[in-house]
Chain A
Amino acid sequence: MQVFIAQIINGLSLGSIYVLLATGFNLLLLVALIIHFSYPVVVVFSMYIVWVVLNATGNNLLLGILAGVLSSIVLNVVSAPIFQKVMKKRGEVDVNSTMVVSMGMGFIITDILSHSFNHGFPIAYPENLTGGAPLFRIGLISVQVGQVWSLAIGAVAVSAFFVLLYKTRAGRAFRAISEDPAGAKLVGIPIVRTGIQSYALSGIMGGMSAILIAMLLHSASPGLGDMLAHKVLAVSIVAGLGNLVGGLVVGLALGVIEALIQGYAAGSWSNAIAFVVMLIVILWKPKGLFGIKV
């Protein structure tokens, strides 16, 4: 029973990161009208920035966190004109061309990480970020301070996002564009400016995810971005592309499933088993559990 509870906590904290990443990905899909496949790779780049700043400042947490969030916002907003340009050149809104831009960005970042940081070896985060000794431990299973934090911050961040989406002027414009971009333009919503706001907001969520992943995993490597990118894309498609509530449920579920497999079966198979589960779901419901909303 203790193992079960511990793995539920671990699973929810991992899942809350998937939720944040899937929400940022879906926001870009719905409002900026791009498929940013490599959004999680950008997040891992910010994780490296956090590491560099922590090393340079003698593990100053505040500066490390600020650098992580700011770098993520900047990277997202700076990529906006590239995406917009490619879409414009192709005439209409065209998610396929944006996918190629995103993949290219992902490859470049992964290569930079494997050449220019720590000789390509995995990086480790200091204890003042990850929280040191576990809260409790049963055999190989433990619950860390970082896990509880990531669950708490993830919950607050996702709630704040939904409040913003449903209670504010910007959120209303986001929903209007996601339902009908041409209609939103017609009523006078500045499409480009609102699109850039959505890049900035997914940057904020990506930066927070970068901190939370560092707290949870205690380390990062150049290949982490691709792994997360696959999972976030899978979560979004299994939930139904663009479905924010679906991403919330499926993101948490994937985290819990992975943690339970690690708790009760061969942990090294957790990715394979999780993807088999998702394969079955997508065969059963091709448009996702909650329906496509794009």
Chain B
Amino acid sequence: MAQNETKTASPSGVPLLKVENLSVSYGHINALKGVSIEVFPGEIVVLIGANGAGKTTLLSSILGITPSKAGTITFDGQRIEKKPVDKNVRKGVCLVPEGRGVFASMSVMDNLLLGAHHNLQNKDKNLERVFGWFPILNQRKNQVAKTLSGGERQMLSIARGLMSAPKLILVDEPSIGLAPIVVNDIFTILQMLNKEGYTILLSEQNAYKALKAAHRGYVLETGTVTLTGTAQQLLSDPGVKAAYLGA
């Protein structure tokens, strides 16, 4: 009954993902210095920040690829900061990596089935849904992934994540290296998936388009959260405008 609210529902209830005081270092370099964020079920949350701000590090720590030095990550009520990646994927986190990251020499179908590695008993149902959203992948399912265009690879990468039946999709810089018209398609797809019930945490340098698609956002600067708010608030924030929206 949130009709007096705007379309961006305010976060309520129990967060699906809660990151508290997370610190990550690469040798002497502190990539994250006590970052705290929350993602609630049904949200699209965007991480905005320049190159090197720690966006990719944050996403890869949540999945379990990059070990954390301090802090906690709670997903779906369970602590996951010390768990291996394959356990976290089983629990329902998936990452769509920067630069598409598909297996170029393997077929589209092989790529999709790799996403469902722990979950092959439901593969037919999941394939049907994924092909419903991405009919182009059905047409190209026997092709080798390197023959796909950049946009198609990004779709394959998202579709592969969906094959793992995730509750939370982490998407790292989906717009990098894609033509503007394709970027619009990708954001439309992410919003469509969000309407289907998927919760999405996304990192973007393309702040304007990302904020237009998202409910809430966090601004990351050199490993710390400097600002947070609804997408609307961030879009109209003078600091954000100056630093990230080129206005």
A contact set with B: CB distance below 8 Å? 169, 172-173, 175-176, 179-180, 182-190
Q: Which has the most chain B C-beta neighbours within 10 Å: A172, A176, A184, A189?
A: A172
Query: Please, how many angstroms separate the alpha-carbon atoms of A172 and B84 in the complex?
Result: 20
Is A175 in contact with B85, judged by CB distance below 8 angstroms?
no
Cβ-closest 3 pairs across A and B: A188-B89, A190-B86, A188-B86
What 0/1 pattern do residues 115 to 156 of B give for CB contact below 8 A with A? Answer: 101101000000000000000000000000000000000000
Residues of chain A with a CB closer than 8 A to B95's CB? 186
User: Is B33 part of the binding interface, using a Cβ–Cβ cutoff of 8 Å?
Assistant: no
Query: Please, how many angstroms separate the alpha-carbon atoms of A188 and B86 in the complex?
Result: 4
Query: Please, how many angstroms separate the alpha-carbon atoms of A189 and B106 in the complex?
Result: 16
Is B114 in contact with A172, judged by CB distance below 8 angstroms?
yes
Is B63 in contact with A186, judged by CB distance below 8 angstroms?
yes
Q: A169-B120, A173-B114, A173-B117 are in contact. Are A187 and B164 (CB under 8 A)?
A: yes
Is B113 in contact with A172, judged by CB distance below 8 angstroms?
yes
Query: Please, how many angstroms separate the alpha-carbon atoms of A189 and B65 in the complex?
Result: 12
What 0/1 pattern do residues 97 to 120 of B give for CB contact below 8 A with A? Answer: 100010111100010011101101
Is B160 in contact with A188, judged by CB distance below 8 angstroms?
no
User: Is B69 part of the binding interface, using a Cβ–Cβ cutoff of 8 Å?
Assistant: no
Q: For the A-B complex with A179-B106, A180-B101, A185-B86 known, give 8 more contacts whose Cβ atoms are closer than 8 Å.
A: A172-B106, A172-B110, A172-B114, A180-B103, A185-B85, A188-B86, A188-B115, A189-B117
Residues of chain B with a CB closer than 8 A to A182's CB? 65
In the complex, number of A-B residue pairs with CB atoms less than 8 Å apart: 59
Is B103 in contact with A183, judged by CB distance below 8 angstroms?
yes
- Residue of chain A at shortest CB distance from B89: A188
7 CB-based A-B contacts, threshold 8 Å: A173-B117, A183-B103, A185-B86, A186-B63, A186-B85, A186-B97, A188-B88
Residues of chain B with a CB closer than 8 A to A176's CB? 103, 106, 110, 114
Residues of chain B with a CB closer than 8 A to A186's CB? 63, 65, 85, 95, 97, 101
Contact of B106 among A169, A175, A185, A190 (CB under 8 A): A175
Residues of chain A with a CB closer than 8 A to B110's CB? 172, 175-176
Query: Please, how many angstroms separate the alpha-carbon atoms of A185 and B88 in the complex?
Result: 11
Q: Which has the most chain B C-beta neighbours within 10 Å: A179, A182, A186?
A: A186
Q: A175-B106, A179-B105, A183-B103 are in contact. Are A189 and B113 (CB under 8 A)?
A: no
Residues of chain A with a CB closer than 8 A to B118's CB? 188
Q: A172-B113, A187-B114, A188-B117 are in contact. Are A179 and B104 (CB under 8 A)?
A: yes
Closest Cβ of chain A to B224, distance in Å, is: 26
Residues of chain A with a CB closer than 8 A to B106's CB? 172, 175-176, 179
Residues of chain B with a CB closer than 8 A to A180's CB? 101, 103
Is A179 in contact with B103, judged by CB distance below 8 angstroms?
yes
Residues of chain A with a CB closer than 8 A to B86's CB? 185, 188-190
Query: Please, how many angstroms separate the alpha-carbon atoms of A173 and B111 in the complex?
Result: 10
- Residue of chain A at shortest CB distance from B110: A172
Is B105 in contact with A187, judged by CB distance below 8 angstroms?
no
Q: A169-B117, A188-B118 are in contact. Are A183 and B101 (CB under 8 A)?
A: yes
Query: Please, how many angstroms separate the alpha-carbon atoms of A31 and B124 in the complex?
Result: 28
- Residue of chain A at shortest CB distance from B106: A175
Residues of chain B with a CB closer than 8 A to A183's CB? 97, 101, 103
Closest Cβ of chain B to A180, distance in Å, is: 6
Residues of chain A with a CB closer than 8 A to B97's CB? 183, 186
Closest Cβ of chain A to B231, distance in Å, is: 28
Query: Please, how many angstroms separate the alpha-carbon atoms of A188 and B120 in the complex?
Result: 13
- Residue of chain A at shortest CB distance from B104: A179
Is A188 in contact with B105, judged by CB distance below 8 angstroms?
no
Query: Please, how many angstroms separate the alpha-carbon atoms of A172 and B103 in the complex?
Result: 11
Is A188 in contact with B164, judged by CB distance below 8 angstroms?
yes
Closest Cβ of chain A to B113, distance in Å, is: 6
Closest Cβ of chain A to B235, distance in Å, is: 31
Q: Which has the most chain B C-beta neighbours within 10 Å: A175, A183, A188?
A: A188
- Residue of chain B at shortest CB distance from A192: B84
- Residue of chain A at shortest CB distance from B85: A185
Query: Please, how many angstroms separate the alpha-carbon atoms of A251 and B105 in the complex?
Result: 24
Query: Please, how many angstroms separate the alpha-carbon atoms of A184 and B101 in the complex?
Result: 10
